[in-house]
Amino acid sequence: MSRDRSIDELAQIEFAGSLTEVFNAYSRELYALARRWQFELDMAASDSRAAMEALHGHPLLFGLDAKLKARRVSKRLKRAQSLAHGLAEEARQFDRAYRKHFLQGG
């Protein structure tokens, strides 16, 4: 396992030169990354819920409703998906805020 904890798409963008271009590129890459996470977490929530619901009748559930438990557990991934959506929206706002406050004299 690599000890490098950087996110390659973002780490390759250096904050030097034309900040307008750099911040735009960073914003686009961060948005794309967040959207990929959002999609992945949505799929994982659905898949994990289906897998847990298949445990219906499993002796360790002690007769408790597998669908209810599956919904509760998969809700964590849905919350993470919601956070990824928020990250995507904030990525868009990063470039807009720079332009507003530094280029338009806001």
**Quick check: is 40 in a domain?**
yes
Domain range spanning residue 67? 18-103
**Quick check: is 1 in a domain?**
no
Count of structural domains within the chain = 1
pLDDT digits (tens, 9 = 90+) for 33-57: 999 999 999 999 999 999 888 877 6
Nearest partner of 71 among 90, 53, 58, judged by Cα: 53
What's the pLDDT at 60? 65
**Quick check: is 3 in a domain?**
no
Mean pLDDT of successive 10-residue stretches along the chain, which has 106 residues: 75 93 96 96 94 74 72 93 96 94 80
**Quick check: is 91 in a domain?**
yes
**Quick check: is 5 in a domain?**
no
Instruction: Please report which residue ranges of the chain form alpha helices under DSSP H.
Output: 8-11, 19-53, 66-98
What's the pLDDT at 23? 95
**Quick check: is 9 in a domain?**
no
**Quick check: is 83 in a domain?**
yes
Nearest partner of 57 among 70, 47, 68, 66, judged by Cα: 66
* Predicted TM-score of the model (pTM): 0.81
**Quick check: is 71 in a domain?**
yes
